[in-house]
Amino acid sequence: MIGRIGMGLFGMAVLAAPVWGQVPADEQAFLDKHMSDVVAITPKRLNDAAIVKAFSAPIYELNIVMNMGDGGSSSQKQIVAKVDDKLVPVSRPGSDGDCPQIAKMMNPAFMLKTDDDAKALQAALDLLFPTVTDDDKKAIAFSHSGSNWMFYRGTFFANKLGFVFTTDGSGKVTAVKFSLKL
């Protein structure tokens, strides 16, 4: 019985507590107006020939700098692309799955039919999804089987990982997947 009362009082306290995270409209307007005092984002359009050949979506590198308040700052870079009127992050997936945003980024004029086409796409992938470790760099290659083109981006527990680009009969990319085991 005391356990129920204790749990009941706890539940009432939780319900009576203020809702964290909600910002009143006037404060949100202030934050929107002054966010650049704390966070600065500088975009740079990635116009490398390999990227432009394979991808028609505008792709940017954002340099994000945060003022830490003690005279210091913290910065990081993020690659993003304009896809369907949205700004989406472009980063290497961490698990198996479809990559519809990457498929939508493809240049409709780009056809993946030959090893030279694959080399061009590989050069673009090297810029967008760079490898980090020496083991990853050893895994960089591509291969194809029928309409599936595999682009290796590294290793995961001794297995090659990377992207699978599926093409139709004309070489147009119709789907992109990421796999931890190719």
Whole-model pTM: value is: 0.76
Residue 106 has pLDDT above 60, yes or no: yes
- 7: pLDDT strictly greater than 50: no
The confidence band for 36, taking pLDDT boundaries of 50, 70 and 90, is confident
Give the pLDDT band of residue 165 (cuts 50, 70, 90).
Answer: very high
52-58 average pLDDT score = 96
Q: Are strands 159-167 and 173-179 parallel, antiparallel or unpaired?
A: antiparallel
Report the run of H or E that residue 89 belongs to, with start and end. strand 86-89
Separation between Cα atoms, residue 98 and residue 175, nearest integer Å? 8
Cβ partners under 8 Å of residue 168, min gap 6 = 147, 174
Instruction: Report percent pLDDT > 70 for the chain.
Output: 84
Q: Which amino acid is at 40?
A: A
Cα–Cα distance between 106 and 126 in angstroms, integer?
Answer: 15
pLDDT average, residue stretch 84-100: 88
Q: Are 58 and 82 in contact (CB under 8 A)?
A: yes
CA–CA dist 99, 120 (Å, integer): 19
